[in-house]
Structure 1
């Protein structure tokens, strides 16, 4: 995941950006927020984001100074700048600082996601310069990507034999297809790539990655040595996840409810919550219903509706924006759910005031 930091002195503006971005679709994760440039630099130092989205008009260290510091101290960090129509000075500084894009406020969902997509593609292009794909012919590249996807899927399924089988098949393919003079570089890059893949699988399913992946990121004397080393590392990863799952059979419902409250405005599903807590969706569903009297989906919907009512009635937020901030991309669907929940369409809330 590409880590993203949002810097803006207005909390509402930060929340709008967070809600409008299709972060998972672009392989991104918002890992922090700052309300000025000074706090932003501190978080950049601590969290190491790959992408910074920043406003230009801020108290203290403003956007111009922040861009200069970023360009000097963190040239590898991608930058997206936000500001108003009349900020020509800021636009010139954004250009000088090689910002990926300059977005006008209020931020538009389509424009934001277009820029995020471009940033993701550029980061992937940079990543692939050290990828095993750069050393592969087209046919081997296609096969490798297929093996890679199957290894990822079996890691998520916690299927140790299947992971080992795919690694061994990949090993035989590399032995057969890679020239001897390229083999050492290929094994090093392949190992690094698959270790990163395993880390992504661990984060996706809520696993503790366990042992440091770097312990097996080293030169390999042979294909079989790499297969054996990676298989051992992945087995340890899956064993750790299985042990966590056994220990989580007794769910702490207060912890589950707290997680839902913190994420109900995001795309959230029964399957995703179950994966986070390393239990089956059936077990989560039964335990949650027994503890609260509601299904998980009913609980999520209730939280979203109460938040939507507050945003529309108390804050006079446009209905479309309120829907987006509550996790609803489809406005028509939001209208149907709102009316079913409250008995009136959202527009009537304002007429009742």
Structure 2
């Protein structure tokens, strides 16, 4: 018999769920009911249910806290959330905690039956041996391949793992959807820890919707291959962008005294002028012209403090042919301080403030 526990702070809901579940048809039994997360933890500790049906908003400890605690303790059973609140953030957390389904109240008899039946089918499949490579090792290998932008290697890792699953006969529809959720959740964590967050690019709610649409193993294979391709291409593009920005920064540091244009630099790194302007700002937090001006003004400040050159000479040495324009730029950059009306001592004191 499959063991089911129900957690909800509303007694009428507890009673209703118990009457709605087709226990005999599912081959299941009720092993516990609780009214908050703390009671839920105790039920799991004592009865070890295969499936937990729980609310979110409950006193003392809510459903998400309870689920997080259970997963941290190694509970691997199915968890179904039923809630009167359609909260995206809770749905997002539920996905990360590998929740089987997130149902909105009121729940129809047909929906409850279908979700429980699917959970039990998945549980039957999990009783079969796992592929020899192991999920944790598999995700680690896959994550490493993606982080190094080895798209071909990542695809081969997926194909090899699916082949092992196929040989063991565990690629039925419920299993492939469950595997899709597990795969994406673990992959997301692995890449996030390596500094590559995926949630902004691939919203969790959209991922769940796409996984629920799987109808056959090839759907998962094509889906994950497409995601990996997008991630790898994005990483390659990001790395090239960083190289381009690093080149520009170094070029400015070495040639700030020359006439430098963004168009000229764009040609050197084979990127369009407008696109280069955009990625430079995103990477450094400054515009190209803002960064160039800052470098020139800092160099000018050093020369003024040295006290060996006239202002017009300093202007030329930092890339300005027009002394008046240089003075205006200097005054703007240093909040009203002009290079022509202060002496070395007062300027030095000012820059120390």
Structure-2-length-normalised TM-score: 0.36
Higher relative contact order, chain-length normalized (CA < 8 Å, sep 6+): 1
Max Rg structure: 2
Structure-1-length-normalised TM-score: 0.36
